[in-house]
Structure 1
Amino acid sequence: MNKTRLIAGSLALLFAATACGSSSYDATPVPAKPTPAPATPAPAAPETCKNALQSYAPDVTLPPPGAMPDGTTMAKIQQYGRLVAGVSADSLNLGSRDPISGKIQGFDIDMINAVADAIFGEPAPGQPHKVELRVISSPQRLPVLQAPRKDGAVDIVARNMTINCDRWTKIAFSAEYYHSGQKLLVQRDMKEQSLKQLSGKKVCTPTGSTSYTNMRKENPDIIPVTADTDTGCLALFQAGEVVGISGDDTVLAGDVAQDPYARVTTAGQISDEPYGLGMNSGQVDFVKFVNGVLAKMKADGDWQKSYDTWFLKALGPAKPPVAQYGRVAP
């Protein structure tokens, strides 16, 4: 392993080591294991999930910032004084800590800030958004939305989480805010292009992710290796413990930016990964509100500005996904 490779590996480990809460508020603990019972009972699962992308239609207009209607989830957040969000701190371009400023930034963080600003109003120049960021791993994404606040619950999760029918039985989702797809990252000098060519070899995916399930379906003969964070997979890859990483194209683009010896293969994506913002299943009013914020971002160009900042160079041009509504509140 040469010096450049060692430096790249050290950077990956640095991101992993600094994965802790970052905001103007002190971060609080999150549950390491699923909570036995959710704070609000989840609605009964439909017999057939015909369209997981359907969310609750937003109201015609958003309430003015700082004036959330009494009794709503948003009013409770306003009273608490900040929006509490579960995010990643090691997914470059999505949610990662800037090693110079120490701030967590990225596309997912822009979504969270927009929701906070819609509740509290935009901060004065130089002041932080009224957000408390709690860094969570992939397996914690659902538990932190089901736990009581005193046990580490969050109001919302923005951590490249795929919308699917099974998760709808446990939490609620916003309308799709980004459309990703699962691909494969390998060393630059590897000839293999697809997961089907990696039988008997070790490939890493994040624990508790849809990437793991998709990879096993694509090639059951792969030896799966998991890590709690995206950077955990990158560290294993750079240490030679695995031959590749399979995950969302957004995450792999960030990995390539940290490792000059890595490449995303030319093989097509093996899945569609529609991202949604996660919320508690009993907070339909908040889901509608968030969908209104996302619709406004897509309409006024803020979504496009965020995408162009974080992904245009690595992934090329893209337009915001079209929201799908029609889900009936329980």
Structure 2
Amino acid sequence: MSRATVSSVNVRRPLLYVIVGAVLALAGSLVPASRPAAGGAAEPPAQAVPGVGAPSPAPCTEVEDSLRPGPLPPPGAMPVGSTMAAIAERGRLRAAVDQGKYRVGFRNPATGELEGFDIDVARAIAQAIFGDPDRIQFVVVDIADRASVVASGQADVTVNTFTVTCARQQVVSFSAPYLTATQRLLVPRGSGIREIEDLAGRTVCTSAGSVTVDVLRRTDGVRVVALPGIPDCVVELQAGRVQAVSSDDVVLAGLAAQDPQTEVVGRALDSARYAVAVPKGADDMVRFVNGVLERARADGSLEASRRAWLGEVLDPLPTIPPPAYRD
């Protein structure tokens, strides 16, 4: 079976990202995806004013561990009535991904195929359901829509450098983390910027809906611009409209590898743990994905993918964290 093409893309995102050394252009037949209506945000809405409208939800205080995996059924034999059986009946897994993060989730300009570490994780889930990693429909989304695209039913999973947070767990359910990362800065070489404090009075760009926004806004004197995706920020950096881009080292290292006029600098501003998001309450799918990840850890395929995609651009490599389960 040939590789599945992207059949859904958010057209609010620019269709061309100019990154020195590579052009991540759309390939194949693309059909615009419906963007979730206002209110379908990546993070839960602000709490209501006490005494007005709906009661305020309980405060979100800590991240909970994921669900323990159960036995993996053979491909093509998903339990009757399960979330996985519904996906199997449709004939394809719908996976929300990115196409602009080099070596993590990106479109290979030579082949038109989506590739990278996150793409390998998504294909492993399709393999476990169908026995065929190509039975997959990639849904390309803005970072801010990673939760809402799953919550609204437009995708079955999100595999898109998606960090587990307490607030996001109110909207979607997460697998156990499959990779760690640290937040740093991408700057032009020779800029003199080495740490976040050097950006006082200057502008740094990051992706809307990401946890990096809050981290950056805690630094006095730094102006923060949030755009749909990190490639959009890189365009602003190259045009001189911002002086730095901040994101996870996994993402920034790929960008620096494409543009030799930039470099990754600074101490770790925060840490992140990437996990697969599924619809809230789909506990069977959470356990199934965790089973897929457990097997990938055990057979070495997750480690092999990590080294193949990230080993040439990051030293030290991000770690694959041991899973922790709540039951």
Q: TM over 0.5, yes or no? A: yes
Whether 1:56 and 2:57 are equivalent positions in the alignment is: no
Shift of 1:46: 6.4
From 133, 156, 160, give the equivalent of 2:138.
133
Separation of aligned partners in 2, 1:320 and 1:147: 30
Q: Spell out, residue by residue over 1:61-95, the C-alpha distance to the aligned partner (whole angstroms, 9 max, x if none).
A: 20000000000000000000000010000011110
Partner of 2:214: 213
The corresponding residue for 2:194 is 193
Matching of residue 166 in structure 1 with residue 167 in structure 2 = yes
Does structure 2 retain, via aligned residues, the 8 Å contact 1:53–1:324? Answer: no
Quick one: which amino acid aligns to residue 29 of structure 1? A
Paired residues for 1:266-277 under 5 Å? 267-277=266-276
Q: CA separation of 1:90/1:12 partners in 2, compared to 1, >3 Å: closer, same or farther? A: farther
In the aligned structure 1, how far is the partner of 2:236 from the partner of 2:194? Answer: 20
Contact 1:9 1:239 in 2 (8 A): no
Question: 2:206, 2:213 within 8 Å by CA — same for their partners in 1?
Answer: yes
One-letter amino acid of the structure 2 residue matched with residue 229 of structure 1: G
Q: What RMSD over aligned residues (CA atoms) do the two structures have, in Å?
A: 2.3
- 8 Å contact 2:73–2:79 — kept in the other structure? yes
Letter in 1 for 2:95: A
Q: CA deviation at 1:143?
A: 1.2
Q: CA deviation at 1:145?
A: 1.2
Unaligned runs of at least 5 residues, structure 1: 1-7, 39-43, 124-128
Distance change (3 Å), C-alpha of 1:12 and 1:145: farther
Give how far 1:240 is off. Answer: 0.8
* Residue number among 89, 95, 98 corresponding to 1:79 in the alignment: 89
Residue of structure 1 equivalent to 2:242:
242
Over 3 Å counting, the alpha-carbon distance change for 1:241 and 1:28 in structure 2 is: closer
Q: Is 1:181 aligned to residue 192 of structure 2?
A: no
Q: Sequence identity of aligned pairs in percent?
A: 33
Higher helix share: 1
CA contact (8 A) 2:181 2:318 kept: no
Contact 2:174–2:276 (8 Å) recurs in 1: yes
**Structure 2 unaligned spans of 5+:** 1-16, 43-55
Measure how far apart 1:47 and its partner are: 5.4
- Answering whether residue 33 of structure 2 is matched by residue 29 of structure 1, we say yes
Q: Distance in 1 between matches of 2:22 and 2:204?
A: 19
In 2, the alpha carbon distance for the partners of 1:310 and 1:33 equals 35
Kindly indicate whether the alpha-carbon contact (under 8 Å) linking 2:41 and 2:148 is maintained by their aligned counterparts in 1.
no
Alpha-carbon separation, structure 2, partners of 1:31 and 1:234:
24
1:54-133 equivalence runs, <5 A: 54-59=65-70, 61-122=71-132, 129-133=134-138
Tell me whether 136-145 or 108-117 shows the greater mean CA deviation. 136-145
Check whether the contact 1:156–1:277 (CA below 8 A) recurs between aligned residues: yes
CA contact (8 A) 2:72 2:288 kept: yes
Q: SS of 1:161's equivalent?
A: coil
Post-superposition offset of 1:48: 5.7
**Which residue is 1:3 aligned to?**
none
- Asked if the contact 2:65–2:325 (Cα under 8 Å) also holds between the matched residues in 1, the reply is yes
Structure-1 separation of matches of 2:326 and 2:31: 36
Structure 1 residue 122, shift from structure 2 partner: 3.2
- Deviation at 1:282? 1.9
> What is the CA distance between 1:189 and its match in structure 2?
0.1
Query: Which residue identity lines up with residue 306 of structure 2 in the other structure?
Result: Y
- CA gap of 1:162–1:13, structure 2 versus 1, over 3 A, is same
Q: How many Å apart are 1:33 and its aligned residue? A: 4.0
Note the C-alpha offset of 1:275: 0.7
Alpha-carbon distance between aligned partners in 1 of 2:18 and 2:32, rounded to the nearest angstrom: 29
Match of 1:257 in 2: 257
- CA contact under 8 A between 2:179 and 2:319: conserved in structure 1? no
Scaled by the length of structure 2, the TM-score of the pair is 0.85
**Closer, same or farther in 2 for the Cα pair 1:107/1:295, shift >3 Å?**
same
Residue identity in the other structure for 2:292: V
Matched residue SS, 1:55: coil
Q: Deviations over 1:147-203 (max 9, x none)?
A: 14xxxx100001111101011011111100110110011111022211112111011
Partner of 1:4: none
Relative to its length, the structure with more strand (as a share) is: 2
Asked whether the 8 Å contact 2:19–2:255 carries over to 1, the reply is no
Number of residue-to-residue matches in the alignment: 297
Cα displacement (A) at 1:9: 4.3
**Is 1:146 aligned to residue 151 of structure 2?**
yes
Runs of 4+ more than 6 Å apart: none
- TM-score scaled by length of structure 1: 0.84
Report if aligned partners of 1:92, 1:255 keep a CA contact under 8 Å in 2.
yes
Report what 1:303 is aligned to: 302
